[in-house]
Chain A
């Protein structure tokens, strides 16, 4: 069989049929356990699909926040047939979306639940992971032996090294980083569930915000949040019988930078997981970046949006800064990005809310922030030292 045909085998074979979220909060915290908050999102997604918890026979938990066994026991999933966790940090949910599509398309499972969430504000902070548990940070022993002794300990610092080099090579500016933060914040004004709803942001405020790890200021950083989200994947055939209009997975892929476990020595310093994954996903989908009506881009920090837009092929490498300026990624612009406000202005719940928002857009349920006539949308994930995942979805 030709390799190209294999790539297309998954096209439109699986659908997202249910999505769910909890409220997002910071102070005083969710008041729930991390399993408890994830279960609430899971139940909402299962209900949205018109399924019963016992119908779930596949579960793909996010790394380090819960095990499939525990989800199955809590939900009463007595016939679990497929369980896996993909260790790709924030790239895991969309990579799991691809794996779930593979599972339901091949009959390995019928209904796969992908939950994720945390007490990211009131519980352990991800920014302090290196101090709490060095073995759970990306790179493991490499970070312990070659990064931490020099004070490189946390995500904004790792990624700032990439952003600084990009600024040097391509002339990307601080104001272009600010344009990403402002676009996400504008979208949040249209989303009552967003943490930054009612709190607009100007360029002056952005530039005046305190530096965290240059070039990243406070407003370049996402919102550590208590909250959870979940989605349910089933086969296209099964989806026809369910409550909601299905959202089809046209193409999906996940990959890693090289080397994935070490940032500094990469032969191509700007290559990330998406560099490999995006062309594969678009080939599978049979469409290109120009056919896309919106993109939900994993926005842990502002520069990562610029870099992913470039590496996903929405613009050439080095042109991402100009792409995001002048409202280019705002509603009404050339490519609306993170219409819910993203991790930067809605909430950081591990990237699953990006999938939820993509589904809402394609169902026409995005209310004041609806992209008119949206038919095809992209959602990405970014994790660890640049792991990447991408799905191309259609209504």
Chain B
């Protein structure tokens, strides 16, 4: 696990900080995990979209998340298939299901890949990449 300030220097792919994705990551740079919440039906959603697929509403707000969730699935990458991640192996992309019901791809920090399990409780922990970009990762939590 090696997601530190040097990430950008090693050529790791970065999100384009524009549009709705840019808004998502700008909250992250302030240390906040927020998801779109539909103003029509109240559902949270991720990844960001223009419309609520449930009720069709184009209105939404960025609502703060509890940051708490559970591991939904994961894979341990033993053989990286992108050169920028060659030094990270083994590492584990993880799907986390948040208490708000949304799922997101992330990583669990400070957790050896062989300790991961489905249902493991986690809480958000931002990982700094640059001053403008903090990736929402997770750590094991007690609950």
Contact = CB atoms under 8 A, between A and B. Distances in A.
B75 A146 contact: no
Contact of A213 (B45, B75, B88): B75
A151 B107 contact: yes
Contact of B78 (A147, A154, A210): A210
A157 B129 CA distance: 23
B109 to A, nearest CB: 11
A367 interface: no
Given A142-B47, A161-B73, A164-B73, A214 B105 contact: no
A151 B73 contact: no
A264 B105 contact: yes
A212 B78 contact: yes
Interface in A161-191: 161-162, 164-165, 168
B46 A265 contact: yes
A211 interface: yes
Given A149-B135, A151-B82, A144 B16 contact: yes
Interface string A99-135: 0000000000000000000000000000110110010
B78 A148 contact: no
Given A149-B13, A165-B73, A131 B21 contact: no
Nearest to A131: B82
A245 interface: no
A151 B91 contact: yes
Chain A contact residues: helix, strand, loop or mixed? helix
Nearest to A160: B75
Interface in B60-111: 72-85, 88, 91, 93, 95, 102-107
Contacts of A141: 16, 21
Contacts of A162: 73
B76 A214 contact: yes
B118 interface: yes
A152 B135 CA distance: 14
A145 interface: yes
B93 A168 contact: no
Interface residues of A, number: 38
Given A131-B82, A265-B47, A164 B16 contact: no
B59 interface: no
Select the residue from A134, A149, A161, A216 with max chain B CB neighbours within 10 A: A149
Contacts of B103: 264-265
Given A150-B93, A264-B103, A264-B105, A212 B16 contact: no
Nearest to A265: B103
Interface of B: 12-16, 21, 25, 45-47, 53, 72-85, 88, 91, 93, 95, 102-107, 113, 118, 129, 135, 137
25 contacts: A127-B81, A128-B82, A134-B13, A144-B16, A146-B15, A146-B21, A146-B105, A149-B14, A150-B105, A151-B77, A151-B82, A151-B91, A153-B13, A161-B73, A161-B74, A161-B95, A164-B118, A211-B76, A212-B78, A213-B75, A213-B76, A213-B81, A214-B75, A215-B75, A265-B46
Pick the 7 closest A-B CB pairs, nearest first: A160-B75, A154-B81, A148-B13, A145-B15, A153-B82, A145-B21, A165-B73
